Structure 1
Amino acid sequence: MKRKTLVLPAIAGLLTSVLTACGGTDESGSDGGTIVVGTTDRIEATTGGPAPLDPAQAYDAASWSVMRNTFQTLMRLPRSGTEPVPDAAESCGFQDRQSEQYRCKLRSGLKFAGGHALTSEDVKFSLDRVRSIHHESGPESLLSSIDKVETPSEREVVIHLSAPDATFPSKLTTQAAAIVDSEVYPKGGLLKGFEVTGSGPFEVETEEQDNRLVKAVFTKNPDYKGDLEPKSAKIEMRFFEDSAQLEKALTDGDIDLVNRELDPDQIEKLQSGEVEGVRVTESAGQAVRYLAFNTEAAPVRNKAVRQAIAHIVNRQNLVRDVHKRTSDALYSLVPAGTLSHTNSFFNEYGDADIAAARRVLSRAGIQTPVKLTLTYSTDHYGPSTAKEYAALRDQLNASALFSVKIKGVKWTEFRPAAGAGKYAAFGIGWFPDFPDADNYIAPFVGKQNFLKLAYRNNAIDDQLLPRTRQQAQRSMAVKDFQRIQNLVAQDVPLLPLWQVKQYLVAQDDITGVEYALDSAAMLQLWELSRGVKG
């Protein structure tokens, strides 16, 4: 890389597209052949997180959307579907029935963008590095099942797992397993700043301002060896301060495609055809929102308090009044459209019922109103977040059983504080790392969970979750996953709220939009090209 200064259904191909209008000029953000993508994602370098595009630190959808197009992994998600296919590897597979030894053979002639050869030693270096750096907000948990990595030859990699894990090929599609250049990235520390040196379909040049990424320019990597074929030689990603600026740039024709994040009112306007020459593509995305609880914090330590909240929250009103139906009510950790989903919270609590909440608190001897603060990120989950938490506050306070306040915090402060257990109740969003029920459960309730939540359930940790990972046929794990969802609904360490629909908004001459997101909602820039406008 050269540096200047600086949700979706299980089958991605099932995206539905609505042409809201035709017309406009022939210059919509083209800059020659360049396609311009706009987003309000924030990618920042901070004291605690100085390397937002380093695979050892980065663990958020914004960073991964940049990295996904520049790094290779051994395996990747396909154009549509959920079964991993080879990427940097020529072939990969388990060598035993227990799913404990995984062997890959690399493609011949792999190179990093800087010119260095990519060998099995770089793969080992990359996997070992993420685990040894052990960044507090990083994706190390995705690689926690690795025992050791061996390199019998320059093109062979053998990964030994400490326990059976049928989801491991899917984990290798994530940016936790991105292959970095061992001659560029430090072994024991992070590569600070916004530099990226990968072997993916694009090289990237980044531009920063005030320690925040403001532009990323992707150009086709001439040394790329893989099955992906970029349909455009150059794509520019611009990062906007807010959704108003993003919408104006789209309306003015300065950008060609919006990835994230417009608010519900803006989406409604664009779908109605108020802006000419714009196409709205909608999918039943796999991104979800939860209210998470620190089960060791005094206000919510008693399970009855969390169960009462589950009885009171009216999801249907939230998605109707706040989201303008740009999301769907969610009643389990695992979203609809993912194998093993079941509506555990609806089965346990039914529709919103204040009388039932009152009975739960009364039986537990809880004095009311229960004082509680709900904390949320002001700048990470989109422009509607403040409205969402104001609505949750109002629902709980209207019951007279709670006295709730809300507090908004910037993401750079919010994320480490949440992990340190400083919030009793806080909002968390989740884009799947890979499309499997495991990835909606293990990051939150298993041992060494990513959020560092205190909740423990021995049946989940020691029996059910490990057993699901022994099932190469994922349909055989459904009963155990559904049992886990039911146990979580009973204990309420997290409260599922809504499942976010995914929207891409494009000028009508941009093609490939229906394939621009994979089944984990990651942006696939290589699918985009420019056609005929009108």
Structure 2
Amino acid sequence: MIMMRKNWKGAAMAGAMAGLLVGVPAGLLASASPVAAATPKDTLVLAWAIDDIITLDPAEAFEISAGEIMGNTYDRLVRFDINDPSKLYGDIASSWTVSDDGKLYTFKLKPNLKFASGNPLTADDVVYSLQRAVKLDKTPAFILTQLGWSKDNVDGKVKKVDDLTVTLETDKPYAPSFVLNCLTANVSAIVDKKLVEANAKDGDMGYGWLKTHYAGSGPLKIRDWRANEILAMERNDNYYGEKSKLPRVIYRHVKESATQRLLLEKGDVDVARNLEPGDIEAVSKNADVAVTNTPKGTIYYFSLNQKNPTLAKPEVREAMKYLVDYDAIGQTFIKGIGEIHQTFLPKGLLGASDEKPYKLDVAKAKELLAKAGLKDGFTITMDVRNNQPVTGIAEAVQRSFAQAGIKMEIIPGDGKQTLTKYRARNHDLYIGQWGADYWDPHTNADTFARNPDNSDNASSKTLAWRNDWNIPELTKKADAAVLERDTEKRAQLYKDMQKDVLATSPYVIIFQMIETAGVRKDVKDFKLGPTSDTTYTFKASKS
């Protein structure tokens, strides 16, 4: 197993890395600049902003770029069909059953599976992986702990029956689709117990080692990672299913849209992943490039902190929904990368509604503000992360607010600064995004429409909690929906919840992300997935 190399500097290191990746030109492995060698026919090279990767451990990785890497390099019990996310299929599981009381899941594993290391993959690895994720209790662990698992009880809830059989017990009879979709998440990825434990220190279950190493069984294996510069994967010949069509896939960290476009047009990269509307329009005119896109399970919104007595007025909440120029935003800042969407469930999820009752109506907003005793407006702040399209949208909202007498000061900051303030409930307005953690409607209902404890020291700090929105009745509805086992009835429960949230919430939901990529035309079968972990680069090939 080759150790991941972080923070390497200089051409000498780039050359050394090229030596590890036999057949890959050293230019590809240099830091992200417009000058590079043409891509080889046996390698897919992607330009993407991958500076969000902080760990390679699936029990901890919770960032968009890391999600894609995990999706290509680790297996899990089940996955969903990216062409129809409502359909689930076995990954390493050959079959599964659910007990009559709805709380015991029994999985049969496919025989003769192997990790990239050559070690056999058995029930021991499945049990170890799920228990490890719960016991480490890193950020994504909540996806599993919401099944009633904890550090104290998970050993009794996740059990091996024999080498090819595992049982999982939940605390309540949840909708099976909810439980199974939780098991498709990256935190449920299966790690090589023997390899991880061989590198464990002081009982850390390999946590220190796996941050920069690989221990999976997926179609690709991680070969090298240089933080903020490059991540290289290569074909895993031990993979049980369809082998990667190309021997290697390389991600180059390129943050700027214009630089990505230039690299793509020159043929120095095969795929550009962060193109802004102007660059999308430019590459769409290039005969050697195609543009592909897919709706993503990510929505952009801004929210009103109900700790602020002005923002807590129902009329103010509604007025702000009429002070967004949705049409103009759709035609400018999100052209080609998003579509106007006003409900908390993205299109594609069970029960998603596409109601769009709000449009820019300054007169209506003024009427509501006058009803709230604020006919002369008020002053407010908005915390904004320094990136597009968020900054542009915030500035557009600032202008439309002013038409109704609302003076909004924009407070810029990086992601860490704005999120820290938001998570502490110290904001007035906050603009950001929320992506589905797994492909089930509870992933968003749990955060937009649940707030089981609104106290400052609550253990569950949902988006409703962050905005001090105390909603006991909606919380009960969300809790009931996740237990409903009839699919049609469950879908209707989520539609009803979306209607309630749309009308009364402190969220102004603006659009759903459409992920767009520019792709060289000699690349075949590159398809963007609906979630961060379902863009399967191992399926791509070149003509």
TM-score per shorter chain, which class? 0.7 to 0.9
How far does residue 511 in structure 1 lie from its aligned partner after superposition? 0.4
What is the CA distance between 1:318 and its match in structure 2? 1.0
Q: Structure 2: which amino acid aligns with 1:377?
A: R
| CA contact 1:299–1:372 (8 Å) conserved in 2 | no
2:403 to 398, 413, 436: 398
- Summarize deviations over 1:360-404 as a string: whole Å, max 9, x none: 33333347432222223225xxx333212111211112221x111
Amino acid at match of 2:500: L
CA shift for structure 1 position 154: 2.6
Alignment of 1:300-315 (within 5 A): 300-315=311-326
Establish whether residue 40 from structure 1 lines up as the match of residue 49 from structure 2. Answer: yes
Equivalent residue number for residue 437 of structure 1: 441
Aligned residue for 2:351, secondary structure, equals coil
| Residue 239 (structure 2) aligned to one of 201, 224, 245 | 224
SS of 1:300's partner is: coil
Q: Is the 8 A contact 2:114 2:238 kept in 1?
A: yes
CA distance in 2, matches of 1:164, 1:366: 48
Structure 2 counterpart of 1:88, which letter?
Answer: I
**Structure 2 vs 1, CA of residues 500 and 44 (structure 1 numbering), >3 Å: closer, same or farther?**
closer
- How far has the Cα of 1:426 moved from its partner? 1.5
Q: Which residue of 1 is the match for residue 360 of structure 2?
A: 352
**Does residue 78 in structure 1 map to residue 81 in structure 2?**
yes
For the structure 1 residues 228 and 143, does the alpha-carbon distance in structure 2 shift closer, same or farther, using more than 3 Å as the test? farther
Q: Are 1:269 and 2:282 matched, yes or no?
A: yes
C-alpha displacement of 1:240: 0.9
Shift of the 376–141 alpha-carbon distance from structure 1 to 2, 3 Å rule, reads farther
1:138 aligns to what?
Answer: 140
Report which stretch shifted further, 32-41 or 450-459: 450-459
2:260 matched residue in structure 1: 246
Cα distance change, pair 460–189 in 1 and its aligned pair in 2 (3 A): farther
Q: Which amino acid is the alignment partner of residue 262 of structure 2?
A: K
- Structure 1 Cα separation of the partners of residues 473 and 354 of structure 2: 20
Q: Deviation at 1:299?
A: 5.2
2:353 paired residue among 342, 352, 362: 342
CA–CA distance in structure 1, aligned partners of residues 82 and 245 of structure 2: 14
Structure 2 counterparts to residues 64-463 of structure 1, below 5 A: 64-82=67-85, 83-96=87-100, 98-135=101-138, 137-147=139-149, 148-166=157-175, 167-182=178-193, 183=197, 184=199, 186-187=204-205, 191=209, 193-208=211-226, 212-225=227-240, 227-258=241-272, 260-271=273-284, 273=285, 275-298=286-309, 300-324=311-335, 326-344=337-355, 346=357, 350-366=358-374, 368-379=376-387, 383-400=388-405, 402-446=406-450, 447=452, 448=460, 450-451=462-463, 453=466, 454-462=468-476
Asked if 1 retains the 8 angstrom alpha-carbon contact of 2:401 and 2:407, the reply is: yes
Residue identity matched to 1:5: R
The 3 A distance-change label for structure 1 pair 219 and 508 is same
What letter is aligned with 1:55? P
Q: In 2 relative to 1, CA 78–284 (structure 1 residues): closer, same or farther, beyond 3 Å?
A: closer
Q: Distance in 2 between matches of 1:498 and 1:214?
A: 31
Partners of 1:141 and 1:450 within 8 A in 2: no
- 1:13 corresponds to: none
Partner of 1:312: helix, strand, or coil? coil
1:52-71 to 2 correspondences below 5 Å: 52-71=55-74
- Structure 2 partner of 1:2: 2
- CA shift at 1:189, angstroms? 5.1
Compute the displacement of 1:161 (Å): 0.9
CA-CA distance at 1:308 after TM superposition: 1.8
Are 1:526 and 2:541 matched, yes or no? no
* Number of the residue aligned with 1:504: 517
* SS of 1:396 mapped into structure 2: helix
Q: Tell me: CA distance 1:396–1:192, structure 2 relative to 1, closer, same or farther (3 Å).
A: farther
One-letter amino acid matched to 1:524: Y
2:480 pairs, out of 460, 464, 467, with 467
* CA deviation after TM superposition for structure 1 residue 418, in Å: 2.5
TM-score, normalised on structure 2? Answer: 0.82
What amino acid is aligned across from residue 223 of structure 1 in structure 2?
Answer: N
Q: Indicate how the Cα distance of structure 1 residues 418 and 110 shifts in structure 2: closer, same or farther if over 3 A, else same.
A: farther
> Structure 1 residues 112, 377: CA separation in 2 closer, same or farther (over 3 Å shift)?
farther
Alpha-carbon contact 1:113-1:203 (below 8 Å) kept? yes
Q: Which amino acid aligns with 1:291?
A: F
Relative contact order, CA 8 A, sep 6+: which one is greater? 1
* Superposed CA RMSD: 2.6
Q: CA deviation at 1:338?
A: 3.7
Summarize the Cα distance change of 1:232–1:491 in structure 2 as closer, same or farther, 3 Å threshold.
Answer: same
- Aligned 8 A contact 1:72 1:87 in 2: yes
SS at match of 2:365: helix
CA distance in 2, matches of 1:168, 1:399: 46
Quote the offset at 1:72 in angstroms.
Answer: 1.0
Q: Is the deviation greater in 185-194 or in 116-125?
A: 185-194
Count of equivalent residues: 487
What is the alpha-carbon distance in structure 2 between the residues aligned to residue 74 and residue 415 of structure 1? Answer: 33
Distance of 1:368 and 1:179 partners within structure 2: 58
- Deviation string 1:312-342 (CA, Å, 9 cap, x unpaired) is 1121121113223542211211233444232
Alpha carbons of 1:460 and 1:525: their partners in 2 closer, same or farther (altered >3 Å)?
Answer: same
> Could you say what secondary structure the match of 2:131 adopts?
helix
- SS of 2:335's equivalent in the other structure is coil
Q: TM-score, normalised by structure 1?
A: 0.84
Tell me the distance in 1 between the aligned counterparts of 2:271 and 2:207. Answer: 36
Provide the identity percentage.
20
Closer, same or farther: CA 372–123 of 1 in aligned 2, 3 Å? farther
Displacement of 1:172 in angstroms is 0.8
Q: Is the 8 A contact 1:28 1:507 kept in 2?
A: no
Instruction: List alignment gaps of at least 5 residues for structure 2.
Output: 7-35, 150-156, 453-459
Residue 174 of structure 1: how far off its partner (Å) = 0.9
- CA distance in 1: counterparts of 2:356 and 2:528, whole angstroms: 33
